[in-house]
Amino acid sequence: MDEQPNGAIAQIMVVDDDPDTVTVLARYLQREGFATIEAMSGPQCLRLVDEYKVDVILLDLMMPEMDGFEVVRALKSNPATAEIPIIMITARDDIEARSEGMRVGVSDFLAKPVFRKQLANRIKAQLDTVATARSIDDALSRIEMGAETPNHQTADKK
């Protein structure tokens, strides 16, 4: 099982309009110890992300109704979901797609076909990045709280 620092199993949302792709990716992830949430469209992703704690989103770029870039924009504009890492998985692996993805807030890209170990390693890297950022935020908060304490003494400057 792939546990987070708090002991919880990481929940990964898989978003793709192809049910076979969703099933295959979800099985890959479950074999690697992740819990999965499946969505078949951008709008469904946006609904489910409000219902479940999602640690990483795997998102297809080319979907009807709402493409991957539109989903990323919606997620990043919502403070409750803005910090969720998004890995774009796409058959369209060109510089324009990558540039636009990075501009809107995609954390990483994988070209289809996706290999299980590569996918697991990319997800773990995103989870590690989030854990490190949280740890730094916590440390900064503790430092700031200490600086505001009246009994706190600072070293004399030369």
In this structure, is residue 1 part of a structural domain?
A: no
Number of domains comprising the chain: 1
* CA 141 – CA 150 distance, rounded (Å): 16
Peptide bond into 5 cis (omega under 30): no
pLDDT digits (tens, 9 = 90+) for 75-106: 999 999 999 999 999 887 788 888 898 999 99
Q: For position 24, which CATH number holds?
A: 3.40.50.2300
In this structure, is residue 2 part of a structural domain?
A: no
In this structure, is residue 151 part of a structural domain?
A: no
Nearest alpha carbon to residue 80 among 109, 51, 122, 42: 51
Instruction: Work out the burial of residue 48: count CB atoms within 10 Å of its CB; fewer than 13 is exposed, 13-18 middle, 19 or more buried.
Output: middle
* CA 4 – CA 150 distance, rounded (Å): 36
Q: pTM of the predicted model, to two decimals?
A: 0.83
* CA 124 – CA 12 distance, rounded (Å): 11
Q: Which range of residues forms the domain containing residue 82?
A: 11-145
In this structure, is residue 154 part of a structural domain?
A: no
